[in-house]
Structure 1
Amino acid sequence: MKQIQIPEELFVLLMKYHLLDMDEVQSEIKKGLMDKMDSITMRLLYSKYKSAPTEEEKQKARQEYLDKRGMLENFRW
């Protein structure tokens, strides 16, 4: 199982929510977890692009990465 690091601020919010029953931090936790999930997704797409075995798969993965990143078509090489 892989380990994932989270920011200290998110960890503190999770502690407050679970140990102190502070429900008001729920939206901040959700945003922090979504940001982390986006970061993981981008890293996986980039890794897929860099390690693709064929040039065709590499270009497909590159396009997927750039689409997810939000890179406009006219700024791509």
Structure 2
Amino acid sequence: MGKQVQIPYELFMDLVYLFVLEIPDEDTHEKIVDGLNKKIDKIIMHELYEKYKTAPTEEEREKARQEYLDKRGVFENFRW
């Protein structure tokens, strides 16, 4: 079995209303897209952080750290 992903209850219920109960609503559609985009961003951030912490060489660790900080939006002058 592959990895599992947890989503907020509200997002799950919006998905149920749209796909199971077939209650179309433009506002619900926008909330679902927004919620899924946020979740994807969190997954990417976690993978970058994990890559930074587990990279086998110092060069790969530093590259992954820079990617993580860039994606996170940390300014160059706040980095060590």
1:54 partner letter: T
Question: CA shift at 1:36, angstroms?
Answer: 0.4
Pairs aligned (count): 77
2:14 partner letter: L
Residue of structure 2 in register with 1:70 after alignment: 73
Question: CA shift at 1:22, angstroms?
Answer: 2.5
Residue of structure 2 in register with 1:41 after alignment: 44
Residue of structure 1 in register with 2:55 after alignment: 52
Q: Report Cα offsets for 1:7-64 as digits up to 9, x if no partner.
A: 1010000001012222221100000000000000000000000001111110000000
* TM-score scaled by length of structure 2: 0.92
* TM-score scaled by length of structure 1: 0.96
The percent of aligned pairs where both chains have the same amino acid is 57
| CA–CA separation in structure 2 for the residues paired with 1:11 and 1:29 | 9
Aligned-pair Cα RMSD in Å: 0.7
Structure 2 gap segments, 5+ residues each: none
